[in-house]
Amino acid sequence: MEYRRLGKSGLQLSALSLGSWLTFGQQISDKVADELMGIAYDAGVNFFDNAEGYAAGKSEEVMGKIIKAHGWERESYVVSSKVFFGTENKGPNRIGLSRKHVIEACHGALKRLQVDYLDLYFCHRPDKQTPIEETVWAMNTLLQQGKILYWGTSEWSASEIMEAIRVARQYNLIGPTMEQPQYNLIERNKLENEYLMLFKEYGMGTTIWSPLASGILSGKYTSGKAKDTRLDMKGLEWLKESALTEVKLAKVEKLQSYADELAIPMAKLSLGWCLKNPNVSSVILGASKTEQLKENLTTLEVLPLLTDEVMANIDRIMWTRPTL
Ligand code: NDP
């Protein structure tokens, strides 16, 4: 496994990490979740990603039980939670980024994950109703209390992140260390365009999500091999609709032919492509089956095959590179 610094911070994350969205406490059994975490940990994965909103808190409960059952040393792993969406929809103060919810959500996550502190704590979305100042102060209270070690954002705009940095500087507080954006061969703008100044000037780290665009970039939807997938899950019609568009599938089909030519499995090509970006600190993998995770965890071996020429050919096939 390769380890990368989370931006300019001192923390090192495995280049490949494991997340639990839609899987833990929802699509897969607790037994499969346990197997996935065991496989990942044994392969050197040291970062496990979670959020209060995943399966309404159940994902954190499942992960907490697994961590406890394995008895892994606390120093050997990094665990995250995210605040914003809440675990249940009961009243106005169980969501968002107010001081009240940021602090209560942290307490809830610590309990469900059965840990004394969260290594990473993300604001899962920007909260347009709460002053950024209030959120930055709340994060710093938690830092001072030792309940979180690093805080960051997810899917914030560059200007919102800049505002958080500005507020932190104004009051001598600690600003955001990392962002968690979507990044894959289809969605490239934030990482390759919008955030460039944040990387250069502030050394922001990134833990990127949906590296396979919910599985499409594994090629299984174009090869006819997709079965028992997340896109068949009830309630995820919105995801299916946005994921399986004609334009995307046509591009993926072309990419599949190129991957075949290179003799690189599509999932590994797509994941390896994400890792080639030096501003990516960790690629968060998702998996509903142990075979998927085992395959994805061997991605590092394809990196030497992704030469400049191959990367340029991929650009020409996908036509998703942002124009700067
Ligand atoms: P991906 O885009 O990589 O999708 C993972 C899914 O793709 C798997 O669950 C599986 O789905 C399928 N898959 C994975 N590997 C293979 C393979 N080798 N062959 C075929 N199919 C495969 O990542 P996720 O969307 O799951 O995101 C990863 C993590 O990022 C999440 O768990 C979460 O921690 C984080 N995240 C954060 C968000 C945020 O807003 N901050 C938003 C979304 C995710 P299937 O069941 O269909 O087979």
Instruction: Dump the DSSP string for 182-250.
Output: B-SSS--HIIIIITHHHHHHH--EEEEB-TTTTTGGGTHHHHT---S-GGGSTT-HHHHHHHS-HHHHH
Range of the structural domain that residue 69 is part of: 3-217+268-300
Total structural domains in the chain? 1
Q: What is the CATH number of the domain that holds 111?
A: 3.20.20.100
The predicted pLDDT at position 324 comes to 78
User: Does residue 46 lie in a domain region?
Assistant: yes
Asked, for residue 25, whether it belongs to a domain, the answer is: yes
- Structure ipTM over 0.90, yes or no: yes
Asked whether residue 311 is domain-assigned, the answer is: no
pTM, full prediction: 0.97
57 assigned to some structural domain:
yes
Closest atom of ligand 1 relative to the 82 alpha carbon = 41
| Residues 6 or more apart whose Cβ sits within 8 Å of residue 26 | 54, 55, 58, 59, 233
* pLDDT recorded at residue 91: 86
- For residue 83, the model assigns a pLDDT of 98
Selecting among 41, 54, 77, 121, the annotated active-site residue is 54
CA distances from 6 to 113, 150, 245, 252, 319 (A): 22, 10, 34, 30, 29
Does ligand 1 lie within 6 Å of residue 24's CB atom?
no
Query: Mean pLDDT for each consecutive 10-residue tract of the chain (324 residues)?
Result: 98 98 97 98 98 97 98 98 92 95 98 98 97 98 98 98 98 98 98 98 98 96 87 93 92 96 97 98 98 98 98 96 88
Kindly state the tokens that stand for 112: 């469900």
Distance 214 CA to ligand 1 centre (A): 5
Gap between the Cα atoms of 240 and 25, Å rounded? 20
pLDDT at residue 48, rounded to an integer: 98
H/E element, 121: strand 118-123
Do the domain assignments include residue 320?
A: no
Residue 94 lies in a domain: yes
Q: Does ligand 1 have an atom closer than 6 angstroms to the CB of 180? A: yes
**97 and 128 Cβ atoms separated by less than 8 Å:** no
State how beta strands 205-208 and 118-123 pair: unpaired
211 lines ligand 1 (CB under 6 A): yes
For residue 117, tell me if it sits in a domain: yes
| Catalytic residue status for 183 | no
Residue 242 lies in a domain: no
Angle at 215 between CA 212 and CA 216, to 5 degrees: 90
